[in-house]
Structure 1
């Protein structure tokens, strides 16, 4: 359909169809994506009608049904780790210990690893403007040992840190690693989870260990602390909240102790002391 013929009515019909077919959450997500696409068309497509308002932006969002994110138990993570090949164990170790996004490790190169300064630079476009952001992160002992092993046992000519260990792609950088976690979870006999769920697990562990919101924010590399706040509440990971609610437990009305009236002799003593 030509853009000039597409209005709010067509947008509402499409979003309502998505709601009935896939649910309100998916419909709202489509609305967000299509609004972004419309803005892209205005900015970059020659001949795009600049005076035509975005029809998707004019549609109301549907009330969503919020469900908690699935965070695998730490025991399930270690079950997956136990059945993984050695190079995939290295990948899992770095995802957990760096609380990294999926793409940050798949695109990581040896130029971004500095053993002398004990740092690694993670690159992401997960910013408000899409600008490339580079964050230098310290290496803990586990990650440093893992990266040293990968450096000493490099495969292929690629400069990428993590390369595929499976035939016929041995030594080649990952493109998406789409089936890695599916295969490992099935082999370990646990509920399926992905690489991003490991980032959620890392955030949960940090919160449960009592680390400050500031340190968790910088571990996750969020631009705003409010993002980390929402992130942790979405995961149900605030140890401080659990501690605060525990203080409400066990409260009951104060006990009333029976008071027997004083004897005559004691009343005399009390009066004398009062004088």
Structure 2
């Protein structure tokens, strides 16, 4: 194995032989030129990694790289080896790294299917197939940058909800990529990418609307205007402060009348149990039961199946219209029930148990602030401020919280054709009257005292 200083002349003069041979560089340790029988000239670097293994990765072919360019790369690699890195192993890992498309497939099979609800799995698949794979599927997982994700989310500006769901899917997916060793820890490219603001679309069912709704439900049950299973489902959702799926999937075997409880083996947040109130017991005891059907609210056409969400949603919409109420989704029932729980004064932990929320933040998202309590609270604050200003203790808000009536107009008011009604000048002697107004700083006389701690105040005191 000859040793020479690798130069352009030496490389050009290297002739192919029957077998591969190498020419070692005398300037950079480990830097060499490999000449094959076919005449190819390949720059390589021989080194020993930190774990003791000998490596000889190819740097590149002569013609694609000059001698000096190849030597510079070899020196950079040697510096990495001195720092404990292994350029050859790093390149092998990079070549074996999966693409984002392959990561998506493993994410669904190894993470989403075992852990998520079927609806969540369907949503992940929609986000992956519609948005992630078309834009990022060809990239290697370690090569995806924050700007790549930012461009993807920015391109979904017109569909902010879908963009937020896609971002959440990507965040979890690249988190698992770190767990599976596809990316170094702490390199999730979705970090610091903000979500789009989403306006809440669920409005609160007011007290008047609640009375009108239940009045129509009573009338519908009496006169047979709606299917009894539909009105039962609505009443149960109010009684349990439940999600729609929890009512539609409810089975009779989950109801324990003896212990006054109902237990769902599975729900959005896992298995849960709720107590049966007197209202819920009355509803369940009086509910029609179809022999052979396990469901409390079975399908209207096939009792062996639960009522479909389509049937329930369209029935709810029709009932609102017939009751003369503004449209809102079925989730508004849960929002109203959570608001009633919060306003009833029960402890927060008890309220969360009734709604089956896991966090205080999520529970409070369902609680709406109504106008009457806010108005009463504003009166309490106002009364407290008045007590502080006046120096008197006011322990409770005044009984009459209405705004004071406007004072009656004076009996004799001078009117003028060029003065608008209600703005007539009360007295021509008042310096602030209409057509006689001057700024405060320009006025003088008995109706304008000198400001304290001024020269005018001192002169006024001397005159007194």
* TM-score, normalised with respect to structure 2: 0.44
Distance (whole Å) between structure 1 residues aligned to residue 137 and residue 181 of structure 2? 8
- Alpha-carbon displacement from aligned partner over 1:100-123 (angstroms, at most 9, x marks no partner): 111111111111001122211134
Alignment of 1:250-269 (within 5 A): 250=383, 251-252=385-386, 253-254=389-390
Distance (whole Å) between structure 2 residues aligned to residue 39 and residue 191 of structure 1? 43
Distance (whole Å) between structure 1 residues aligned to residue 198 and residue 354 of structure 2? 30
Q: Which has the higher contact order (CA 8 A, sep 6+)?
A: 1
* Aligned residues of 1:203 and 1:220 also touching (Cα < 8 A): yes
Distance (whole Å) between structure 1 residues aligned to residue 195 and residue 247 of structure 2? 35
1:138 corresponds in structure 2 to: 275
2:314 corresponds to 1:172: no
Q: CA deviation at 1:22?
A: 2.8
2:204 corresponds to 1:71: yes
Question: Paired residues, what number?
Answer: 238
Alignment of 1:1-275 (within 5 A): 1=134, 3-5=137-139, 7=144, 8-19=146-157, 21-23=158-160, 27-36=163-172, 50-51=182-183, 54-55=188-189, 57-58=190-191, 60-62=193-195, 64=197, 66-67=199-200, 69-81=202-214, 82=216, 83=220, 84-127=226-269, 132-135=270-273, 137-150=274-287, 153-155=288-290, 157-165=292-300, 168-169=301-302, 172-176=305-309, 177-229=312-364, 231-232=366-367, 235-236=368-369, 245-250=378-383, 251-252=385-386, 253-254=389-390
Aligned to 1:18, what secondary structure does the other structure show?
coil
RMSD: 3.5
Distance (whole Å) between structure 1 residues aligned to residue 335 and residue 391 of structure 2? 45
Structure 2: gaps (5+ residues):
1-133, 221-225, 393-464
- Alpha-carbon displacement from aligned partner over 1:125-155 (angstroms, at most 9, x marks no partner): 434xxxx2222x22122211111122xx322
Q: CA deviation at 1:97?
A: 1.2
Aligned to 2:262, what secondary structure does the other structure show?
strand
Q: CA deviation at 1:231?
A: 4.3
- Alpha-carbon displacement from aligned partner over 1:217-262 (angstroms, at most 9, x marks no partner): 2211223445434543xx2269987765442123333289xxxxxx
2:447 corresponds in structure 1 to: none
* TM-score, normalised with respect to structure 1: 0.70
Structure 1: gaps (5+ residues):
257-275
Cα distance change of structure 1 residues 123 and 225 upon mapping to structure 2, 3 Å threshold: farther
Cα distance change of structure 1 residues 160 and 73 upon mapping to structure 2, 3 Å threshold: same
* Aligned residues of 1:11 and 1:59 also touching (Cα < 8 A): no
